[in-house]
Amino acid sequence: MKIEPRKQGIKLVSRMGDGIENRIGMTVKNRLEVDDLKGEPEELQWYRVPLPEGRSGDGSSYHTYISRGTENNLCIIISGGGVAWNEYTAARPVTGGKVAAGLPNFYWNNLRPFTQLMNINIGITNTKNSANPFSKWHFVVVTYATGDFHIGNSEFPYKDENGEDKILYFNGHNNFRLTMEVAKRLFPNPDRILVAGNSAGAFAVPALAPEIADDYYPNCSDITLLSDSGLLLFKDWKRTAKEIWKADSRFVDALHTDNPTVDWYEALYSEYGERFKYLYASSTRDYLLSSYYNDIMTKQYKTDADVQQVFYEQLKRMSEQLREITADFHFYIFNWQMLPLAVGKGGTVHTALKEISFASRKSDDVTMADWLYDQVNDDMYDIGMNLLEPICS
């Protein structure tokens, strides 16, 4: 049977993408991979901490990363890495090939060597960058490879793209709590805490904040929360959390709209009020989140100017909703453009927290790094609200 030229091209690009990821992964493994923690950590060194009771989405091993700083402040990073909400998305984890070819790819399902590059020594976790004002803080990274916003507790059967029976381990909540036990043991009494999540981790920040404050750090009175790029509207989030992820009822009961980030912040503020400082960041026409939304609505995993405009309108409304929760909700809005991608045309970047741009690119002449540092030091203000019309005041 003759294969269409377009399909041949997609296969070729996919193979090239897989090959590039594999080569980068081998470089990380052979030259860059950090050591496992044995004993007490040295200052300003990254370590991997294997967690034998944890589990990644494909059933493989799980680990966290930590770094001991020289300042007694703690940054808890809740990592992103996509989401799976049904059998179709479960069957399409991220690979280098799928990304390169613009094929549907929804979540990272393991912590292979390549994923170290997504978690440490990048953006806010770059402890060697003098422009990063958080570089001397303690760090704990809640790594993510389960597709469940870090709240899942189930084993989900599905058939992969080859028709083979597989299990997706939605083990995110257990992985989170295991990581927090490491954090509490190594960094028991921080003066300040920043809980910051990007992408899927952005959704998780308000959901997990009560456990961080009550179960692990009840004596810390200065906790800042940042969600970077957590906007994906879907009418079935409550059903997904309850029936597919089998999340705890506390997470499920708070969901009552198509926006889980707003729902979880609303529930959090109603119970904890000013216990936390509340922050949200986003680019204006996020190429990736708009691709996810387009797939939910039309089954087309791609973005274009029309879909990006829909995302922009959703972001304006979300900013208003968060400000309605409390006037003390503050924002960093940016419009850093993407180059044309295989998944679509244009749009703006997806997240800044764990990107090279964290301490370099600016919105309103202020980097996210400097804005975020000001927030944790009680100098509260907004950046980039002029990018949302009408301006959210």
In a domain, 17, yes or no: no
Range of the domain at 239: 46-387
- Let me know if 70 is exposed, middle or buried by CB neighbors in 10 A (0-12, 13-18, 19+): exposed
- The arithmetic mean of pLDDT across residues 321-350, rounded, is 88
In a domain, 324, yes or no: yes
Using CA atoms, how far apart are residues 320 and 359, in angstroms rounded to an integer? 27
Mind listing the pLDDT tens digit for each residue in 9-49? 666 666 776 688 778 878 867 877 999 999 999 999 999 99
Domain contains 20: no
Q: Which one-letter DSSP state was computed for residue 4? A: P
Judge whether residue 341 has pLDDT over 80: no
- Residue 11: predicted pLDDT: 66
Which helix (H) or strand (E) element contains residue 155? strand 154-159
- Kindly state whether residue 4 falls inside one of the protein's structural domains: no
**373 in a domain, yes or no?**
yes
Mean pLDDT of the chain: 93
**H-helix or E-strand containing 47?**
strand 46-50
The predicted-structure confidence for 210-265, as pLDDT tens digits, reads as follows: 999 999 999 999 999 999 999 999 999 999 999 999 999 999 999 999 999 999 99
Q: How many structural domains does the chain have? A: 1
Burial of 374 (0-12, 13-18, 19+ CB in 10 A): middle
In a domain, 28, yes or no: no
- Is 273 part of any domain? yes
CATH code of the domain in which 259 resides: 3.40.50
Domain membership flag for residue 106: yes
- Whole-structure pTM value: 0.94
Q: Kindly tell me the sign of the dihedral angle through the C-alpha atoms of 320, 241, 278, 136.
A: negative
The DSSP line for 261-324 is HHHHHHHHHHHHGGGEEEEEEEETTBHHHHHHHHHHHHS---B-HHHHHHHHHHHHHHHHHHHH
| b/e burial code for range 37-59 (CB count within 10 A of at least 16 → b) | beeebeeeebbbbebeebbbbbe
